[in-house]
Structure 1
Amino acid sequence: MTTLITDDTRRELAGTPTPPPPAASTRRFRRPRTGTPLLAAVLGVVLFLGILWPLVMLLVSAFRSGTPLEAATWTLSGFAALGENLTRGDALLNSIVLAVATTILGVGLALGLALLERTNARGRFLIRPLVLISVSTSAMFYAMGYSQLANGYTGLLNVWIRDLTGHGPVIDIESWYGLILVDSLHASAFVYLFLVGPVSKLNATYEEAAAMSGAGQWRTLRTITAPLLTPILLSATLVGLVSGLQSFDGPLILGGPADLSFLGTRMWSLINDHNPPLYAQAGAIAVVVLVALLALTAVQSRILRHRTFVSVTGKNFQGARWDLRGARGVGGIAIGVYAVFAVALPFLALILTSFQPFPGVWQGLSLRNYELLGENPNVGPAVTNTVIISAVGGAIATVLAVTIATLVPRISRWAAGGFRAVTIIPLAMPGIVAAIAVSWAYAAVPGLRALYGTIWLMIIAVTVAVLPVTVQIAAGATAQLGGDLEEAARMSGAGPLRTLVTINLPLILPSLIGSWLISAVLISGNLDAPLILSDQDTQTLSTLTYQMFSNQNQGQAAALLTLLIVGLLIAGLIVGVLHRITVRRLRRPAGDTGAASPSTPASPPAESVGIE
């Protein structure tokens, strides 16, 4: 899932502190626009080919009778069957119910975590690492982990209770309430990133004034804090609805066994379970989903742009922690419960399942599943494909994001608004919709048809999917750069390209490393796009894991997921070390050269400079 992020959260992701409010400026500085038209034109072509052209071809696919690779006729059969497809198995109603339910629980849980982090609760320092682990973990991992933990037949929890009491199953996670629980846990981590900045920056002055007037903490929370957070909570609610309507992994893995139908799984069934695939019907559903999500995203963007509830001021601002007094332990227990359900239980279930000879069998635990993975000829190519797709896709998304963030202050307002609008579109494109759009966009063009069935087509699809995330991170990083740095470079004779390479990029390099890692991790766990675009030669670890899981090889699927998680942790540690080394080098004293620290926006010695 991807989401819009506020300025405060951008700084959280970028690893840069909130800058102090600018002093009254005596003159305005607009960054130079020279040398940018060609770069803007190239970027426009790239975004057109990657985002807008697939959208056009998605609409075309809904009116074509065949597959992307064959001659087809124009038809209305896709829309003629639209009503049946939306109502079959209550797919549309189920998707709406799932979106609303996961939004209520996810936003509530995320708000609780954000508020707890602002208190003196015991263990509050664990909240952010736990959330980052959850964000970095794919929805497929959550669904498979909880399936192995509590499915009604061989779930570890049910087997354990059955062995103790002789009764069971006690809980069946492959059900409505199980799906809502798992999707809400995963969605809450993303919504938390959206809320933590505004909540942490709430001005304590208002709360102190309420306390001096005799109001208790709960009354202050209800009458002061809640109204101040109303705009961001409304935006977070829209984020949750968009995420819920996009959900695919959970409905496929947990909803399928319960015979629950959703829009995403219905599109997948129309393509996967029919020969030839019914692309016209799947395309018609995709168009409806896309229009609905674009409308929600537009409303969300409009609310964010016109947010006027201000609690952070430049004068006497402070964001004090709330004293829970005797309830510090209760807060710590709440954090512990979240850690158990969001991280410990799904991880533990997968690890234990990977050692079982058969699901639900505790005797004969061994490394046999890992040995079978070593003998499987498909694992090696899947690892190679996943590494290439994740690394290259994350790098391309990060480069595009930096280019967009660098260009926006230098081009006209309408052009900048156009770039922003185009980069928001993928927020409203579920992975399976994006896969259908990309497959038609490139297979229908003779010169680009060679990409069909290769990992490069998947790279395009997943790059588009994570682009909004990298754009938000890059925007947060570049926003910390003072305009006086570029002004000084220009006065010294440096051109825009030299300024970018020698000044801006070194300062934002730590944020770019983080952006690449986050996007690569999100890509590595992506399931829906590879399911549509991959074949036997281009399988990824996510599609191979799902194939094993659906073929009742849960032990090997759990072992493969465990190895993937261990690999991501190792990669994260390596990148973290490189990140720390880079930050230390950039913060090394620069003598009298006047080099600016990456964490402190430079300011001119004589006067304050404002940036338009």
Structure 2
Amino acid sequence: MSTLSSNEITHPPMRWGIRFARLMEGKAPRRLALAALALLLAFLSLYPLSMLLYGSLHTTPPGMAGTFNLSGYIQVFTWPTAVVFANTVGISLLKTVFSLLLAVLFGWIISRTDTPMRGSLEVLITLPFFVPPILTAMAWGMLGNPQVGVINLAWQWLSGSETPLVNVYSYAGVVWHMLQYSTPFLFLFVVEAFRAMDPALEEASRMCGASQWRTFRRVTLPLMLPAVITAFLLSFIRGLESFESPLFFGTPAKIEVVTTAIYNSIHHQSIPNYQFASALSFVIMGLMFLLVIWQWHLLRGRSFQTVTGKGYSPRVIKLGPWRWLTFAVCVLFFIISVVLPIGQLLLGSFFQFFGFYQWDMLTLDHYRSVLGNDEVWRAFRNTFLLGFGGASATMVLGSIVAYVSTRTRWSGRQLIDVLAWLPWMMPGMVLAVGFLWGFAFLPGAITIYGTIWALLIAYVALGTPVSVRVMSAAYHQLSFDLEECSRVHGASWWQTLWRILIALAWPSFAVGWVLTFFGIMRELSASVLLYSVGSEVLSVVLLRMWENGQAEAVSVVGLMMMLLVFLFRWVQLRLIKRYVSTL
């Protein structure tokens, strides 16, 4: 008969933790846990992808009997669709190139010059990335409208010209709007690459007689190649899947891209053409896969080591009076990308009709209408419910996947990592089409389509790659010695996980949670295909209001969303500051 040790008597939680750890050390429970995790990730990635292939060959909408043929692909490989692909690639390439140039300029200003208030400027430059694109798209639709846009009205009043100064309903308008939130995204990559580079390499070039420009071109940029290529491809992929800019500014100008073609084939046809939408989605997935392979091939076998064991501090370039010019450039970008759209929403919310800005048109009726609108409040409730629930579920799943990938040597962990990363290549619109087919083929007792669960599953799938990367980076910073020391002193596997890993990684978890919440609040492309009556989110309600000509109500709801963005961005910055201060 076994007896309890004094340690087990005085520490019963530790006793159960030791038993649980011993149980998990067995091969059967470990394999069962890995299989369950793999099945969950496969449901979020492989299942919609396989159903997308099925739908591209099926002749009728989801849930209806039909036959199989290649008519969807035949329609894809036609001249009109080729024009759609050319528009998509061309617009994405243009906005990525211009965004990258701006991001490199801003990264150099913030990390390598003595420009005043660089810390505050960095926050201002990155802020547009966290603002939902649908808000700025609607605001610029009111600012740059060729007939009644505020910019054109002001230009006509000042110059007396009847020709509009800007027209956002054009190719330039689509690129212009995409550039505003692509530049901060690229800046986040580039500025860290500047900071991680040893300036001694540049100083050696200058000592050998190279000019500042030649040093930047021949030393700085080549050493930044991994970050630049990664940022370029990620931005290019995000451009291929962009929906808001082409929808708002391209559709009125008869400019169609892949995402709007998928949306129109399902929503704006008397008989939805799901087969063409699925085939087009599958082809764009193949294009993105080829881009990722090209990136791996480009960087394979090349060395870009710039951080050594020697200490260094970034060299700050003295700009003299020119520092105020660089300061003004950064502030100007913030004014154009944030202040002007917010100002337009504020202006539009107080006037009776959009485009008629007379004193006798001032009113608060739009605020009363929005605050008394049950659909708006239901959308707020759904957005917050999905945001909090989706962000929490996504970060928990990402933490588990990251733990398996980085802290264990279990066989099968590479498969887990690949399955978690796969949705990164799937645009929200494409993933939504896959889930439309997938939900229709679930057993009758499992009803997901048409419920809020459909949106939640899509949000978790889209956010998992980000959460895994955030938590993997946090776990990589923690030495394995911490766990070994904890186990040597008698702590169980669960106690070590809770008191060591989770306790030290929670700031990254919190930052990832806020980022995921932002992503859910911004998401429109997946939401617009998966929502139903009663499960609308704010982005969908805003789109419907805009399509119904309710620009004034849109301004009120947009301002409310902007306040939420600023609040959560402040929380995120506070968490990052607290995390850095503890390192």
Q: TM-score, normalised by structure 1?
A: 0.86
Cα 1:412–1:68 shift into 2, 3 Å: farther
Cα 1:194–1:226 shift into 2, 3 Å: same
Aligned 8 A contact 2:126 2:185 in 1: no
Aligned 8 A contact 1:96 1:245 in 2: yes
Partner of 2:272: 277
Taking the aligned partners of 1:89 and 1:559, their CA distance within structure 2 comes to: 40
Q: What displacement does 1:448 show?
A: 6.6
Does 1:388 pair with 2:394? no
> Identity of counterpart residues, as a percentage?
27
Partner of 1:552: 549
Partner of 2:5: none
Q: Larger deviation: 407-416 or 213-222?
A: 407-416
- 1:107-162 alpha-carbon deviations (Å, 9 max, x no partner): 11111111111111123223321243212112212211211111112211112222
Q: Map of 1:430-441 to 2, 5 A cutoff?
A: 430-441=427-438
Partner of 2:354: 359
Name stretches of at least 5 consecutive residues in structure 1 with no aligned partner: 1-31, 588-597, 600-612
Q: What displacement does 1:207 show?
A: 1.8
Partner of 1:25: none
Task: Choose the corresponding residue for 1:125, options 109, 119, 122.
Answer: 119
Partner of 2:17: none
- 1:554-604 alpha-carbon deviations (Å, 9 max, x no partner): 1111211111111232344456667777x59xx8xxxxxxxxxx62xxxxx
Partner of 2:331: 336
Q: What displacement does 1:504 show?
A: 0.9
Partner of 1:291: 286
- 1:177-208 alpha-carbon deviations (Å, 9 max, x no partner): 11111111211111122222211111111122
Partner of 2:422: 425
Taking the aligned partners of 2:296 and 2:444, their CA distance within structure 1 comes to: 36
- 1:426-452 alpha-carbon deviations (Å, 9 max, x no partner): 221111101011121122111574011
Aligned 8 A contact 1:36 1:407 in 2: no
One-letter amino acid of the structure 1 residue matched with residue 102 of structure 2: L
Partner of 1:224: 219
One-letter amino acid of the structure 1 residue matched with residue 493 of structure 2: P
- Secondary structure in 1 matching 2:259: helix
Partner of 1:164: 158
Partner of 1:49: 43
Partner of 1:455: 452
Partner of 2:509: 512
Q: What displacement does 1:307 show?
A: 5.1
Q: What displacement does 1:74 show?
A: 2.1
One-letter amino acid of the structure 2 residue matched with residue 330 of structure 1: L
Q: Larger deviation: 446-455 or 460-469?
A: 446-455
Taking the aligned partners of 1:480 and 1:243, their CA distance within structure 2 comes to: 29
Point out the structure with the larger helix share.
Answer: 2
Q: What displacement does 1:410 show?
A: 4.2
One-letter amino acid of the structure 2 residue matched with residue 243 of structure 1: R
Does 1:71 pair with 2:65? yes
Q: What displacement does 1:341 show?
A: 1.8
Partner of 2:201: 206
Q: What displacement does 1:75 show?
A: 3.0
Aligned 8 A contact 1:354 1:558 in 2: yes
Partner of 1:139: 133
Does 1:444 pair with 2:441? yes
| Higher relative contact order (CA closer than 8 Å, sequence separation 6+) | 1
Aligned 8 A contact 1:426 1:468 in 2: yes
Taking the aligned partners of 1:475 and 1:301, their CA distance within structure 2 comes to: 20
Cα 1:342–1:33 shift into 2, 3 Å: farther
Task: Choose the corresponding residue for 1:116, options 109, 112, 124.
Answer: 109
Aligned 8 A contact 2:182 2:235 in 1: yes
Q: TM-score, normalised by structure 2?
A: 0.90
Q: Map of 1:28-39 to 2, 5 A cutoff?
A: 36-39=30-33
- Secondary structure in 2 matching 1:318: coil
Cα 1:105–1:243 shift into 2, 3 Å: same
Q: What displacement does 1:412 show?
A: 4.3
Does 1:100 pair with 2:93? yes
Partner of 1:252: 247
Taking the aligned partners of 1:476 and 1:311, their CA distance within structure 2 comes to: 19
Cα 1:327–1:209 shift into 2, 3 Å: same
How many aligned positions are there?
554
Task: Choose the corresponding residue for 1:151, options 145, 148, 157.
Answer: 145
Task: Choose the corresponding residue for 1:538, options 516, 535, 540.
Answer: 535
Partner of 2:470: 473
Does 1:375 pair with 2:372? yes
Taking the aligned partners of 1:482 and 1:38, their CA distance within structure 2 comes to: 27
Aligned 8 A contact 1:386 1:524 in 2: yes
Aligned 8 A contact 1:389 1:523 in 2: yes
Partner of 2:18: none
Taking the aligned partners of 1:223 and 1:430, their CA distance within structure 2 comes to: 36
Does 1:499 pair with 2:496? yes
Taking the aligned partners of 2:129 and 2:297, their CA distance within structure 1 comes to: 26
Partner of 1:175: 170
Aligned 8 A contact 2:121 2:331 in 1: no
Taking the aligned partners of 2:408 and 2:38, their CA distance within structure 1 comes to: 12
Does 1:91 pair with 2:84? yes
Q: Larger deviation: 93-102 or 209-218?
A: 209-218
One-letter amino acid of the structure 2 residue matched with residue 78 of structure 1: G
One-letter amino acid of the structure 1 residue matched with residue 84 of structure 2: A
Does 1:80 pair with 2:74? yes
